Structure 1
Amino acid sequence: MTRANTRKPLGQVSGEDQSSVPRRLLSHATKLFAKKGFDRTSVQEIVEAAGVTKGAMYHYFGSKDDLLYEIYARVLREQTEQLEKVASSAAPVRERLATAASDVVVSTIANLDDNTIFMQSMHQLGTEKQKAVRAERRKYHERFRTLVEEGQATGEFRGDKPADVIVDFFFGSVHHLGSWYRRSGSLSARQVGDHYSDLLLDALRPPQ
């Protein structure tokens, strides 16, 4: 039987508000992946936790891989939209980069479980999905890098360090958030974001 044959018509999704079904599936998949690991979590466990049928799940997601992919992809889409909005504004480049740097920290913390689970399990995705994720993440980093390069071109940022290295260094710190940040701690997500942003901008200050 093909996967398509398992899908139920949209109107048969257990009487649920249809728009809530993918959100519930993603939410419960995230919790189960965190608790048991991606490879040890079955589709049956996910649909039971979400209170839907397998047919309902396969209407939105073709496989467990698709769930893992979407857990990260939706966060990256939101971050990309926000970055584009900030980067294309008329504000000075230093202000745009500061806002972009703080925003990505805030959104990463808001989706910390999703990001952590994906980073731990990404290697279990199929080759094509891994390539797709890396391509989308590369686009985001490249857009961020254009802000650094713009400031370097005008002399506002130091030009003796390659923009690629600066961006990789910054995002290495962002990806490390899951290992130490705790929501019960003394710093809010925005405070951490602003600290990261200040450190980046200070590092880019031209030498006297």
Structure 2
Amino acid sequence: MPSEPGDRPAVGRKRRKQHARRQEVLDTAARMFFERGYDGTTTQDIGAALGLLKGSVYYYISSKEDLLFELIQQYHDDTRRHFEAILASEGSPVEKLRELIAVDTAHAARNLERSTLFYTEWRSLSEERQAVIIAERSRHERAVQEWITEAQASGRIRPEVDPKIASFGIFGMVNSVYRWFSPGGRKTAEEIGRDFSDLILDGLIDPAG
């Protein structure tokens, strides 16, 4: 039977409404996980905050862990996109280091709820899902170590710097932002990102290089 002319717009509106409602569920879950912790929040809590019965929440998600994984994955995907752009750029190793530090720091500060979940609650995921996070983190660490090694070969970074230890120090700084950043503070996320990149690179670069 042919569809009526108004059928497709109606279907489109319904899908947009469902998508918006599902995003609302995700945003509410992110806020509650951030405020109460993952273990301290139930799907019933999330449903109540949205004015939904517990059973209605499962229309939008399969489980509480699925919610957490999707939230972490959203943050992860954003991080991966700017990482891939830096990898593909024509910048020097030092320029890539500077950009990654600045962008990663600012991204974590601008997205406090999701960055906090990414760094504190990922161990609540299944081992299989944890492996996805660990693999991506390892890619970032290897890239930073390679950039440091390349910059040492060209005389830009001090030869006594241990690339592996330096990479751990870099990510230790960047990954700490969620603990103390205040959106209403004296500096913006972007300013702190630039400050971090200047501070780190000033400690790595060989003045004679």
User: Is the structural similarity TM-score above 0.5?
Assistant: yes
CA spacing shift, 1:16–1:46, aligned 2, 3 Å: farther
Say whether 1:144 aligns with 2:147. no
Corresponding residue of 2:129: 129
Looking at structure 1, the residues matched to 16 and 81 of structure 2 have their Cα atoms a distance apart, in angstroms, of 29
TM-score (norm 2): 0.81
Q: Which is further off, 137-146 or 97-106?
A: 137-146
Contact (CA 8 Å) 2:157, 2:204: kept in 1 or not? Answer: yes
Q: Structure 1: 5+ residue runs without aligned partners?
A: 1-10
Deviation at 1:166, TM superposition (A): 0.9
Corresponding residue of 1:173: 173
Number of corresponding residues? 194
Corresponding residue of 1:7: none
Corresponding residue of 2:112: 112
Looking at structure 2, the residues matched to 147 and 20 of structure 1 have their Cα atoms a distance apart, in angstroms, of 41
Contact (CA 8 Å) 1:106, 1:190: kept in 2 or not? Answer: yes
Q: Structure 2: 5+ residue runs without aligned partners?
A: 1-10
Cα RMSD of the aligned pairs, angstroms, is 2.4
Corresponding residue of 2:77: 77
Q: Which is further off, 195-204 or 139-148?
A: 139-148
- Matched letter for residue 185 of structure 1: G
Query: What are the superposed Cα offsets for residues 153-186 of structure 1, whole Å, 9 maximum, x if unpaired?
Result: 2221123222111111011111211222111111
Corresponding residue of 2:45: 45
Deviation at 1:145, TM superposition (A): 3.0
Q: Which is further off, 127-136 or 169-178?
A: 127-136
Deviation at 1:107, TM superposition (A): 0.5
Looking at structure 2, the residues matched to 28 and 163 of structure 1 have their Cα atoms a distance apart, in angstroms, of 40
Query: What are the superposed Cα offsets for residues 58-92 of structure 1, whole Å, 9 maximum, x if unpaired?
Result: 3xxx3211221222222122112112212321123
Runs (4+) of structure 1 exceeding 6 A deviation are: none
Corresponding residue of 1:66: 66
Structure 1 or 2, whichever has the larger Rg, is 2
Deviation at 1:48, TM superposition (A): 4.2
Among all aligned residue pairs of Structure 1 and Structure 2, give the percentage whose two residues are the same amino acid. 26
CA spacing shift, 1:206–1:26, aligned 2, 3 Å: same
Say whether 1:57 aligns with 2:51. no
TM-score (norm 1): 0.81
